[in-house]
A and B are shown apart, each in its own frame.
Chain A
Amino acid sequence: MTSPPVSLRERAAAVQAAPTRRRRSPRTAAWLFAGPATALFVAFFAYPLGASLYQSFTARRDGADVWVGLDQYRRLLHDPAFLHSLVNTGLILAVQVPVMIGLALVLAVLLNQSWLRFRAGWRAVFFLPAITTLVAYAVVFQVLLRTDGGLANQFLQALGLDPVDWLNSPTWARISLIGSVTWRWTGYNAVILLAGLHAIGRDQYEAAALDGAGPVRTYTGVILPQLRPVVLFCVITSTIGTLQLFDENYVLTRGGPGDATLTPVVYLYKVGFQQLDFGYAAAIAWVVVLIIAAVSLLQFRLYGRERRR
């Protein structure tokens, strides 16, 4: 630099000393900068949030919204469809999330191998399902899972097995849903885990090898323990995603047959947009928010403990 350094404070003093220019006070300037964002936040976030909370305390009677206090929330406690949707979500959480994270881990480790060629290409391929449009997703899975002549059943029949009624039987519909969610999100999680693996230096592998650890022992004993925070991050986001599950079961089964694949958000959609029971739908939305908040809090606690180690 050629010019003599001038401290910020000196410059500010010089500016303030200039008598001819009228300046807005710093406070106004701060609001001017924050204003647009704040206005957008209030208009599109805070206000709808508040309005939906208010709405969850109302019911529509003869075309007008009437205050009903906690009635909508009380209704939820005894609504078999809603309780069923929670059970379904619990089932998916218990089965799908561990399976998917396990698969994603294996995938990430494979994608991290130095002998693998076209690694960027592979990563893109496995990431694609997560960004595929819903139209393509729906068409592919409906063709795949069609009872008559669907690819899945053709495969089963080629193996000499009986065809399966993938979307019409309650049990198989659940399995189909779990499978399709796993297909869609495994690659996504694998890429995040891969980023975690990249952060672990080559020296760690070398050190493990020098200590006589084989490849499996290297991963289970050295690499995976260091990956725990990333795994936990994937578990948390997947859990939240599962609690908000909508796309997959909406396009595959609309929550059916019966309530077999109903999730809280699909139920919310049905109640709000098909039954026009907006107060009840808002109550469902807020209960889902509370459940997600509780589960996330729990997992963040675990996460915090993890980081202190």
Chain B
Amino acid sequence: MSAETRPEKHPQLARDQGGLVPGPTRRRVLSAGLAGGALLLTGANGCATGGAGATGAKQLTGSPGAALTGKVVIWSWDVAAKAMQRLGKAFEQAHPGTTVEVVDIGYDNAYDKITVGLGAGSGLPDVLTVEGHKLPTYTGNFPNALVDLTSRAEGLRSQYTEASWRTVTDAGGRVRALPWDSGPCALFYRRDLFQQAGIDPAGLATWDDYVTAGTALKAATGRKLLILDAKQDSLFAMLLQQQGQRWFVDGKVAVATPAAERALTLLKQLVDRDLVDFENGWDGLVSGTHDGKAATTPTAAWWDGTLTADLADLSGKVGVVPLPAFTPGGPRTSNSGGSTLCVTAQSRNPETAWGFLSFLLADKANQASMMRQEGLFPAYLPALDDPYFQQPAPYYGGQPAMQLFAGLTRSVPTVELTADDSKAGDIVTTAVNQVLHNGADPATVLRSAARQIATATGRQTLG
């Protein structure tokens, strides 16, 4: 299924798809919680993960030009694992004496395994795949568990967008991972439905235009405007990033801001006008799109992979335009998803691990090949010059769709990420649900969510 081929790029959707797989049983969770507690206790007493020292993170100490040897074990999943298996062989050939072993740990248990390994200070491989939005939660809670890559990675800074680089930089300004793929956003739309309704998608300059067009489109075609799973916060987060923020601004809780209110009011408007088709999880999104339940999908470039692989019968019927803006002339893109690779402090071979990271990710040819073969949209900007991006795509009716995304990548607004993001995200999701399902007032629930986040994180509220 699609979700198994691309979940690493869309965490929330993938997480829900994980409902098909057993979670830990009740009893196992309790005992795991207790065991985890025990492990953290030892950590606090001075083991690998403990200590408040902001300077204690392991550094890369070898000389940069030295020959690489030894084995590197990597945890990843699905297409990301496939890409690394393919390019791992190339790395082994380029550096005789090295071995790259990729372990596909599966998305559903990946973070439980990583969390336990970080808490225990043992049991982790050399390299971890971590989605960008989850990285700050780990670096914030386990500041010394990942190797400080700053000395080697700093020189690569100009090869990435500021938004990407911010994702891999911790609160102390140190580089803790290398960006892999990114998720610049735009609006996918059904050419046939827009044509039938006589609406020009190029005219969707603002979200107000979008709502108006949606009403007309529904009257003409009977189809709704977009598919949503309110149990997940991805669209709301995307609408916030489009306006240049996530949950926190300057370290303060920022979910009761005018931007957040605009985003949530937009979602409420769409629901009130019956333009939203609620579906369950990733499978619901894919099958709903297949059945043409909605005319648009505001999402990231990686949606292309699912469309072309799983929804091939829509070929020629899909087009892409930039996201409508909140204010005329405002930003017309955002980011959703994207992964990173980091080296664990437990690694016995951090130099070789870093060697593989830079070979795989900071390399134009390799990044372009992962776009072509695995559909991983490169975060490494030089790769966007690859001729692949200029090609007209038959699936999009001849439109060079990837060129549009490549063009939007550089204008993805940068947002602040913190160790408290997953906590805030959970609270916000509940608030969004109150609006979408119970018709609550956006401003009121956002204020209450902001208070809750402030209490839970000990942070101040903005404004």
Contacts and interface: CB of A to CB of B under 8 A. Distances in A.
Contact of B430 (A49, A81, A273): A81
A148 B288 CA distance: 9
A270 B112 CA distance: 11
Contacts of B356: none
Given A81-B430, A246-B23, A253-B231, A277 B423 contact: yes
Contact of A142 (B19, B44, B231, B419): B19
A147 B230 CA distance: 14
Contacts of B197: none
Interface string B35-56: 1111011011000011110100
Contacts of A268: 29-30, 33
Contacts of A47: 38
A52 B119 CA distance: 14
A48 B422 contact: no
Nearest to A133: B22
A139 interface: yes
A148 B41 CA distance: 48
B434 A258 contact: yes
Contact of A265 (B21, B26, B427): B26
A51 interface: yes
Given A134-B22, A276-B115, A282-B37, A270 B426 contact: yes
A52 B19 contact: no
A258 to B, nearest CB: 4
A65 B42 CA distance: 10
A81 B40 contact: no
B34 interface: yes
B263 to A, nearest CB: 18
A138 B21 contact: yes
A246 B25 contact: yes
A269 B230 CA distance: 20
Nearest to B51: A64
B195 interface: no
A61 B142 CA distance: 10
A169 B437 contact: yes
Contacts of B27: 244
A251 B25 CA distance: 10
A147 B30 contact: no
Contacts of B288: 148
Q: Which of A55, A246, A268, A275 has the largest number of chain B CB atoms within 10 A?
A: A275
Nearest to B232: A256
B184 interface: no
A147 B279 contact: yes
A63 B419 CA distance: 10
Contacts of B33: 52, 268-269, 272, 278, 281-282, 285
Contacts of A80: 448, 452
A168 interface: yes
B452 A275 contact: no
B213 to A, nearest CB: 25
B430 A244 contact: no
A64 B50 contact: yes
Contacts of A52: 33-34, 37-38
Nearest to A59: B458
A196 interface: no
Most-contacted residue by chain B among A79, A168, A280 (CB, 10 A): A168
Main secondary structure of the interface of B (DSSP, over half): helix
Among B41, B115, B433, chain A packs the most CB atoms within 10 A around the CB of B41
A285 B34 contact: yes
B31 A48 contact: yes
A2 interface: no
A252 B19 contact: yes
A247 B426 CA distance: 19
Contacts of A60: 40, 141
A48 B38 contact: yes
B452 to A, nearest CB: 6
Contacts of A282: 33, 37
B91 interface: no
A63 B51 contact: yes
B388 interface: no
Interface in B425-443: 426-427, 429-430, 433-434, 437-438
Contact of A62 (B23, B30, B41, B143): B143
A142 B433 CA distance: 21
Interface string A260-293: 0000010011111111111011100100000000
B141 A258 contact: no
A256 B429 CA distance: 9
Most chain A CB neighbours (cut-off 10 Å) among B35, B138, B419, B437: B437
Interface in A212-270: 244-247, 250-254, 256-259, 265, 268-270
A79 B35 CA distance: 25
Nearest to B19: A251
B22 A51 contact: no
A91 to B, nearest CB: 17
B20 interface: yes
B283 to A, nearest CB: 8
A19 to B, nearest CB: 49
Interface in A36-83: 47-49, 51-52, 54-55, 58, 60-65, 75, 78-81
Interface string A140-155: 0010001110000000
A281 B230 CA distance: 25
B280 interface: yes
Most buried by B among A49, A148, A252: A148
Contacts of A277: 423, 456
Given A48-B31, A65-B40, A168-B280, A273 B231 contact: no
A170 B115 CA distance: 31
A139 B20 contact: yes
What 3 A-B pairs are tightest by C-beta distance, nearest first?
Answer: A258-B433, A134-B22, A48-B34
25 contacts: A48-B34, A51-B38, A65-B50, A75-B456, A80-B452, A133-B22, A135-B20, A138-B19, A138-B20, A139-B20, A148-B284, A148-B288, A168-B230, A168-B280, A170-B433, A247-B22, A252-B19, A254-B16, A269-B24, A269-B33, A275-B422, A276-B422, A277-B423, A282-B37, A285-B34
Given A276-B137, A280-B456, 13 more contacts: A48-B35, A54-B41, A55-B37, A65-B44, A170-B438, A246-B29, A251-B20, A253-B19, A265-B29, A272-B33, A276-B115, A276-B422, A285-B34
